[in-house]
Structure 1
Amino acid sequence: MNIEKDTIAVRSGEAFDPHVVEDYLRAQIAEVRAQPEGSLEVRQFPSGASNLTYLLKMGTWEGVLRRPPLGPVPPKAHDMGRESGLLRQIHPVFPLAPKPYCFCDDPAILGAPFYVMERRQGIVLDSALPSGIEATEELGRRLSQAVVETLVDIHAIDWQQAGLEHFGYPLGFLERQVKSWIERYQRAQTDAIPEVEPLLRWLSTHIPTSPAASLIHNDFKLNNMLFAEDDPARPVAVLDWEMATLGDPLFDLAISLSYWVRPSDPPELRSILPTVTVLPGFYERNEFLELYARKSGRDLSDMHFYMTFAYFKLAVILQQIYVRWKRGQTQDARFAGFDKRVYTLIQHAYAVSQQGQLT
């Protein structure tokens, strides 16, 4: 095993005492106790802007440690106990969810709650295929099928049998989401965009009746999956369950599709969401929806609402980042142009709302 792969040295200010953590892990995990003492190696996964994630290695054992970001965090955000508890409940019935080893809320160990889970080896597909993997029609179609079928499997988890009854509030889920994201946009709004007011009115007055609730990942997209190195169309893990809850599965489907960019999309949209799904063989969105409908048995006749909402939600996320830059709360120059991205997404969301159906 190569601990250097896909990781970096721990960033300045984000280290912890490896001796304290090793002692804790030895007390909690039998596999760790079998490894040589004093052998803990720690690296950091560089991606992600939310929780901090570390690769741990002792002898032949590897694990992944997740903890909240440094500094104060909002109430109920970055809930490590909730996330690890979900993985513990669903891993037996959905093996693509990594197995958690332990959860710790003792501040004397790390200074913050954290959990440790098994390490899954695999490749991440983001804006480009890894070196050595050829972009073929066959690979694109197999990957597309794998993504759709994985999402269907998540939505098919029997959340009541898995003991997740108190994991969310599915009644009124979609109405709450629409209201919440509209309010978030209004709090962060800066520039006047002509399509905003008619779009917000349309979203508020066209909320469909949700299907039966399911477990939803809430951030399910291609780069939150790991694929096998010897078969890049075979999933080996679904990661980042932090925002999972009980809710409307079509909301989850739309969020996934809002990241599923195709070559026929406007250039402005493609530039905002660079992804390998523009390569040959990847499903068109209507193909994605057709397979999901066939595999899940769900009625997708209201998907134009869900897709409109998904693009609006993405615009709000970028607007919240942009307003922090505009107010001087961050100096990161990357965010200076996010107002143009928000404008593009608002326009696109409004256009989808007026189509009446997806194309």
Structure 2
Amino acid sequence: MNQLNEFKDTIPVRKEEQLNEERLLEFLHSHFELNNDQLEIRQFGAGHSNLTYEIKVGNWEAVLRRPPLGPVAPKAHDMEREHSILRDLHSLFPFAPKPYAFSNDESIVGSQFYIMERKRGFVYDTSFPKEIVINDEFYRAISEEMVDTLVTLHEVDYNGTKLQELSHPVGFLERQVHGWIGRYVRAKTDDIKGVEELTTWLATNIPISPNSTIIHYDYKLNNAMFSFDSPTKMVGLFDWEMTTIGDPLADVGAALSYWIQDDDPELLKLGLGKQSVTATKGFYSRKEFVERYARKSGRDLANIDYYITFAYFKLATICQQIYYRYKQGQTNDPRFANFHIFVSTLITHALQSRKGS
């Protein structure tokens, strides 16, 4: 067990993403009862958008989350909104981390930020930790846990929460489709074949939504954390920035756009670098994911192809926004240099995901 507790899920802070340690330590002492030990900061390195740090003072530890460097899109990366959502959601859905403090004072770390609890466990992304034994049974159990936790989230009663005040579920899907098309246009850099055909199809084939639920809207394996003691049981779910009340099938579609399977094209598997572990044989296929969700939730997923197609376009737009920031010199992160190729791959895959295509 000691070996598991030493499992490292952080990296040294990237040079261009360092924090003002003196100002941050002053803030921490004003909000928490801490000793006089040195502030230690490490970074969670897997994300491509918001910046997340592990902060420690002696035995006290927490996580700091802030927007990415440079200008950001209007209403995007709203740390105050995310902090407010978590305050209510944590007690209703304990996989959500407990928030501790929020600050709008940009003189501390260069932007607004919030601090939340530090959860411990495994995060599965492109490989598995050497500390655990993996086999087909393990892959299936992880798959089932991901589906079942999503069903559980969609069953949470949001009435009376801050999320209800911040959300507008009526017309959600229509706003999403037209909104993401607009975001793509504003972040456009290269002419990519198929974009006009895809956006026209999305805008003219919007299905009728089922009853609204809480949706995470960035639900994927590397946003989940699994127990050291029971490595197929989830203990944490992160990145609640896009959470709202809306169409639960949009949440399923988003999850499936990240769920790479073993027979996917190589460009889809490797577009963000290393291949996701979900592409390993033994994990659920997207079809199995859909079937289990439908069985567990009781929802009709007859139109799921539309939601998957839209999710690929939405993911393409997110990658395009990141690539736009790279092209504008707002970030120098070399991981983003070829994102335009992945955007093109996602557009092509979205077109192929339409029913009958």
Deviation string 1:180-216 (CA, Å, 9 cap, x unpaired) is 22233344162351x4333222211110011111111
Tell me the equivalent position of 2:10. Answer: 7
> Any conservation in 1 of the 2:54–2:62 contact (CA below 8 Å)?
yes
Deviation at 1:276, TM superposition (A): 0.6
> Any conservation in 1 of the 2:69–2:331 contact (CA below 8 Å)?
no
Instruction: Kindly report which structure 2 residues correspond to 1:290-309, keeping only aligned pairs within 5 A, or say none.
Output: 290-309=291-310
> Any conservation in 1 of the 2:70–2:331 contact (CA below 8 Å)?
no
Tell me the equivalent position of 1:127. Answer: 126
Task: Determine the C-alpha separation between the residues in 1 that align with 2:6 and 2:138.
Answer: 28
Instruction: Provide closer, same or farther for how the CA distance between residues 321 and 56 of structure 1 changes in structure 2, counting only shifts above 3 A.
Output: closer
Amino acid at match of 2:207: P
Instruction: Kindly report which structure 2 residues correspond to 1:1-359, keeping only aligned pairs within 5 A, or say none.
Output: 5-29=8-32, 33=33, 35-107=34-106, 109-187=108-186, 188=188, 190-193=190-193, 195-272=194-271, 274-322=275-323, 335=336, 337-355=338-356
Q: Which moved more, 1:64-73 or 1:98-107?
A: 64-73
Task: Determine the C-alpha separation between the residues in 1 that align with 2:16 and 2:157.
Answer: 42
Deviation string 1:134-184 (CA, Å, 9 cap, x unpaired) is 431110111001101111122112111334222221111111111122233
Task: Determine the C-alpha separation between the residues in 1 that align with 2:108 and 2:341.
Answer: 44
Deviation string 1:223-244 (CA, Å, 9 cap, x unpaired) is 0011112322111100111121
DSSP-derived class of the 1:37 partner: coil
- Which ranges of structure 1 fall in alignment gaps of 5 or more residues? none
Instruction: Provide closer, same or farther for how the CA distance between residues 4 and 122 of structure 1 changes in structure 2, counting only shifts above 3 A.
Output: closer
Deviation at 1:23, TM superposition (A): 4.2
**TM-score normalised per structure 1:** 0.87
> Any conservation in 2 of the 1:7–1:43 contact (CA below 8 Å)?
yes
DSSP-derived class of the 1:36 partner: coil
> Any conservation in 2 of the 1:84–1:115 contact (CA below 8 Å)?
yes
Amino acid at match of 1:80: M
> Any conservation in 1 of the 2:70–2:330 contact (CA below 8 Å)?
no
Q: Which moved more, 1:271-280 or 1:220-229?
A: 271-280
Amino acid at match of 2:208: T
Q: Which moved more, 1:252-261 or 1:132-141?
A: 132-141
Task: Determine the C-alpha separation between the residues in 2 that align with 1:265 and 1:321.
Answer: 24
> Any conservation in 1 of the 2:69–2:330 contact (CA below 8 Å)?
no
Task: Determine the C-alpha separation between the residues in 2 that align with 1:290 and 1:262.
Answer: 15
Instruction: Provide closer, same or farther for how the CA distance between residues 348 and 10 of structure 1 changes in structure 2, counting only shifts above 3 A.
Output: closer
Deviation string 1:20-55 (CA, Å, 9 cap, x unpaired) is 4344334433xxx2x432443222223323222221
Instruction: Provide closer, same or farther for how the CA distance between residues 18 and 306 of structure 1 changes in structure 2, counting only shifts above 3 A.
Output: same
> Any conservation in 1 of the 2:326–2:336 contact (CA below 8 Å)?
yes
Q: Which moved more, 1:233-242 or 1:1-10?
A: 1-10
Instruction: Provide closer, same or farther for how the CA distance between residues 150 and 344 of structure 1 changes in structure 2, counting only shifts above 3 A.
Output: same
> Any conservation in 2 of the 1:190–1:323 contact (CA below 8 Å)?
no
Task: Determine the C-alpha separation between the residues in 2 that align with 1:81 and 1:25.
Answer: 18
Instruction: Provide closer, same or farther for how the CA distance between residues 267 and 23 of structure 1 changes in structure 2, counting only shifts above 3 A.
Output: closer
Deviation at 1:334, TM superposition (A): 5.2
Instruction: Provide closer, same or farther for how the CA distance between residues 59 and 3 of structure 1 changes in structure 2, counting only shifts above 3 A.
Output: farther
Q: Which has the larger radius of gyration?
A: 1
Instruction: Provide closer, same or farther for how the CA distance between residues 4 and 41 of structure 1 changes in structure 2, counting only shifts above 3 A.
Output: farther
> Any conservation in 2 of the 1:260–1:285 contact (CA below 8 Å)?
yes
Amino acid at match of 2:31: Q
Amino acid at match of 2:101: C
Q: Which moved more, 1:266-275 or 1:152-161?
A: 266-275
- Which ranges of structure 2 fall in alignment gaps of 5 or more residues? none
Instruction: Provide closer, same or farther for how the CA distance between residues 58 and 271 of structure 1 changes in structure 2, counting only shifts above 3 A.
Output: closer
Task: Determine the C-alpha separation between the residues in 1 that align with 2:351 and 2:118.
Answer: 42
Task: Determine the C-alpha separation between the residues in 1 that align with 2:155 and 2:72.
Answer: 33
